[in-house]
Amino acid sequence: MTDNNNNNSAISSSHPKTVLTYGTFDLFHIGHLKMLQRLKAMGDKLIVAVSTDEFNALKGKRSVYSYEERAAIIAALSCVDLVIPEQSWEQKAQDIQQYQVDIFGIGSDWKGKFDELADLCQVVYLDRTPSISTTEVKRALSNLDSDKIKQIKDGLDSVLSIVKAIE
């Protein structure tokens, strides 16, 4: 009996506590990083399923960076141990079983959406980082462009008015 217990403890200690999450991770920002770091802190191994461009289309998203670029950025993070493609809504249960996942974690914007996975592993919803999102980053970039263009145009207009004045 004792040996068996020892065997069990030996088996459980050899299996790294595995955390799994999913996302698009476009225009990678601090909200994404904090989420991944907090998820990694919950276990020993973090697997991130990055949405493919095709699956993004199903989600109604068109990312600036391609799947390959987004996956490469995520894979380069020290807190990430494995990157896999997210190709469908339905793959989560199979991924959890295939990778012997202990915890499925995702942002609070998905709260309640994946509760059915609690039959397979612990399900956690972590608060999102406020006031940052890929949409915000896109908006800031587009505003920057228009602000910059207006600044340059104003400068040219004043030069033009000086030229006209001395003609």
- For ligand C2G, the binding residues (CB under 6 A) are 22-25, 31-32, 35, 51, 59, 86, 106-107, 109, 128-129, 132-133
Q: Minimum distance between the CB of residue 17 and ligand C2G, rounded to whole angstroms?
A: 19
Of 17, 34, 45, 61, the active-site residue reads 61
Nearer to ligand C2G, 45 or 70 (CB): 70
Q: Which is nearer to ligand C2G, 63 or 102 (CB)?
A: 63
61 catalytic residue (yes or no):
yes
DSSP for 71-138, written as a single string: HHHHHTSTT--EEEEE--TTHHHHHHHHTT-SEEEEEGGGTTTTGGGGGTSEEEEEPPPTT--HHHHH
Q: What is the closest distance, in whole angstroms, from the C-beta atom of residue 59 to ligand C2G in the complex?
A: 6
Least spacing, CB of residue 153 vs ligand C2G, in Å: 34
Query: Which residue in the list 17, 59, 111, 150 is annotated as catalytic?
Result: 59
Q: Is 148 a catalytic residue?
A: no
Helix (H) or strand (E) holding 49: strand 45-51
- Whole-number CA gyration radius for the chain: 23
How far apart (Å, rounded) are the C-alpha atoms in residues 144 and 141? Answer: 5
Q: Which is nearer to ligand C2G, 3 or 119 (CB)?
A: 119
**Going edge to edge, which strands form the sheet with 103-107?**
82-86, 45-51, 18-23, 103-107, 122-126
Q: Which is nearer to ligand C2G, 127 or 147 (CB)?
A: 127
